[in-house]
Amino acid sequence: MANLTIGCFPGLVGSMTYDFALKLAEAAVDKGHTVSIWFSGNATGSVKANQKHLKDYSTGETHLKRLLEKGVEICTCEACTVARGVQKPDGIEGVQWNAMHWYLAKIHGADRVLQIGGE
């Protein structure tokens, strides 16, 4: 089994790239791979808890919780997150908060890295 690290920068709302990143992560963990996800840029807004699922918009919370239960490590860039007005107590439980070197450390141990930019 291998180790996949995904860097996800696009926002939850306004793009379906975020959804792609989570679906790929789930497919990988379901096959027994170890998966880490790093959120930076607009993706960090997705770690806010209590998201309302309106059918015109994707929702991240349900998927993130399911990935966490499956053992996927998820970390948000603290600076990017607080810049968007989301503080740790408001965040989804189980999501880690750290600095950019967390991502580089995961890259160090990864067999494959998929960096998904934000625009």
Contact set with other proteins (CB under 8 A): 2, 4, 7, 9, 16-17, 20, 23-24, 26-28, 30-31, 33, 40-42, 99-105, 107-119
Burial of 75 (0-12, 13-18, 19+ CB in 10 A): buried
Closer CB to other proteins, 4 or 72, in the complex: 4
Q: Which residue has the tokens 């603290």?
A: 78
Q: Position of tokens 């790093």?
A: 38
Residue 31 carries which DSSP code? T
Q: What is the DSSP letter of 43?
A: G
Closest to other proteins by CB, 49 vs 114, is 114
Return the number of the residue (20 or 82) whose C-beta is nearest other proteins.
20
* CB of 70 vs other proteins, minimal distance in Å: 14
